[in-house]
Amino acid sequence: MKAPPEDGRRRVVIESLSPQLDGGRFAVKRTVGDKLVVEADAFADGHDEIRVVVRWWEPGAARKAWHEAEMALLGNDRWRAEIALEHLGRYRYTVVGWVDGLRSWWRDLAKRTAAGTDTDIDQAIGAQLLEAAAGRADSAGKRDDRDRLSDRDRLDESLLELAERYPDREHESVYDHVLEVIVDRRRARFSAWYELFPRSTSPDPSRHGTFGDVVDRLDYVARLGFDVLYLPPIHPIGRQFRKGPNNVVGAGVDDPGVPWAIGGAEGGHSAIHPQLGRPADFRRLVREAGKRGIEIALDIAFQASPDHPWVTEHPSWFLARPDGTIQYAENPPKKYQDIYPFDFESDDWPGLWRALNEVIRHWIGEGVRIFRVDNPHTKPFGFWDWLIGDVQADYPDVLFLAEAFTRPKVMYRLAKLGFSQSYTYFTWRNTKRELTDYFTELTQTQLREFFRPNAWPNTPDILHEVLQTGGRAAFEARLVLAATLSANYGIYGPAFELLEHTPREPDSEEYLDSEKYQQRTWDLERRDSLGELIALVNRARHEHPALQTNERLWFHAVDNEQLIAYTKNTADRSDIILAIVNLDYHRPQAGALELGLDGLGLPADAPYELVDLLDGTSRLWQGPRNRVELDPARRAAHLYHVRRLRSEREFEEYA
């Protein structure tokens, strides 16, 4: 005969706890200031009342310092509570429930009293329950509460509420798992990234750019409204197999090489390219950026050039081919002879892991708190699980962006392992159906619990056909889409604002004269620059909380497949943003837009105002159905702040 369970008197069943990922294997994600809404099904056999609480532990607390809060019954045995997330780091939470004998007795006593069937035995049972509660109050050192609970002359609801402070939890049930939520700082949820190559910031085409030149560029980046300045690798660049302009094999003596071919005689991943400056110059850049509300994000590319010191110091960290040479990187048909991947199956893999961890910690020591990680999907999942967890245990404010343009399940696994933000397929989602389906998936499925999209219309590696052929309107539209569909977005500049659109060859997404292979000089004062529009879009993002989250993204019907319309709003609907974008970059398009007024809290029978945040014009709409028209020769998008008119007088004054 099988032995009975340890305690068969635990009668409450707890299941379907949310949020959780993969049975609790991974943590969900939130940011400081959020509330974690916890729900669970909880019930017991029979008809006894139960009580259910959410139990949580917050970072920095003593090991056994758990908090609890009562959960409210929503109906159908579903319970809910909220946890205020006020600290960075990993919270833990679970749900606990027990049968409430006192509340069950009180409920039944009221029924018996109403029916005239209550007895002295019923009263005696209640007295025993209250006496037990008084004993628990005494054990807790609450003598006044003990005395009140021992007073049988005033048996009422207030006495019952007092007794419930000292419940009998001897046979409580605890949910099977302790779950986790990673609480990041706000920039994990809301950020605008600007990427530039430091070597191309020199005003003199004959001189290599420096960190000092980047400092001089900070006011420009700030005027555009960006809060993260992302720099490709700033380390020494190898000379063996260095690539020339447009990725030609065999560089000239003055060709600067590819920044991702990391390492030279001057050092490796913890060193700085000597032409950029010294460590003190980099620290100055970090400080000056901070004064302008900008953070420096560094590219972390875990790979090496043939000249990297580790190639000779740790040859076992690289894969040797049968002829004794080291295997260089490939993405057939592309070959990267100037880059050696690390061999994560090396016998000395622990040494490699520790060394790469130290790279991150070195740059944290230099003031960096955001890292864009190059191709993380080509490194083991277990490595990222360990590294991110280990770093954030000491530095919970550090953020990691995954540059992983790969299969969806791989991208999502990396996010589950701890990457704070992730690149997306936005660049290749261009039709109304593609955009609607993709961002619905990202924001309205379980992905929203752990995957924070960061939308980029271009990168140094990706010049999509839409930007090659769509003209200025394509750049305008893709900017508005990226910046408003996603709370995190970025552009590679100045190529983007200066409308760089020429591919290296037909059917290629590579730029002609790409900065990856050569230094460029940019005229930031060009009259056709999109800088003014970018600044307006980023101002709207900072001034309107509705655009600072991916929650409550709602696509609205337009009877024209070339027009896409969607809203974002705050939870209290005090801030509503409506974006309308023409996806035909060559012809005017018009259609009827159907707004879900009730869901937005807008009146069905009164006018409401739309103020365009991109040009300051305004209009009145009334009812759910209104006509929209966009001519890409004039503008590719509207970005409206939707405002209720507060009174009939305001409407008359407006009219």
- Catalytic residue, chosen from 172, 213, 307, 374, is 374
Distance CA 62, CA 160 (A): 32
Cα four-point dihedral sign 485, 487, 492, 493:
positive
Decide: 59 and 89 in contact? Cβ < 8 Å. yes
Parallel, antiparallel, or unpaired for β 399-403 and 421-423? Answer: parallel
Residue whose C-alpha is closest to residue 184's, from 27, 398, 360, 394: 398
Q: CA of 37: how far to CAs of 78, 267, 294, 452, 463, in Å?
A: 13, 48, 32, 18, 41
Query: Nearest CA to 354 among 385, 378, 387, 305?
Result: 387
Q: Is 403 a catalytic residue?
A: yes
User: Looking at 184, 213, 227, 403, which residue is catalytic?
Assistant: 403
SS3 for 262-278 is ECECCECCCCCCCCCCC
Using DSSP, state whether 462 is helix, strand or coil.
Answer: strand
How many C-alpha atoms does 57 have within 13 Å on its Cβ side? 14
| DSSP β-bridge partners for residue 68 | 55
DSSP string, 340-407: EE--TT-TTHHHHHHHHHHHHHHHHHTT--EEEEE-GGGS-HHHHHHHHHHHHHH-TT-EEEEE--S-
The tokens 């007092």 sit on which residue? 162
Which residues does residue 158 pair with via DSSP β-bridges, in sequence order? Answer: none
- For the chain, the maximum distance between any two Cα atoms, rounded to a whole number of angstroms, is 103
Q: How far apart are CA 407 and CA 233, in angstroms?
A: 25
Written as six digits, the tokens of 263 are 């390492």
Q: In residues, how long is the chain? A: 655
Crossing angle for the helix pair 120-139 and 101-115, to the nearest 10 degrees: 150
Instruction: Look up residue 573 and give its two tokens.
Output: 């609907």
* Whole-number Å distance between alpha carbons of 285 and 271: 16
Residues 555 and 594: their CA atoms lie apart, in Å, by 10
Which residues are catalytic, by number?
374, 403
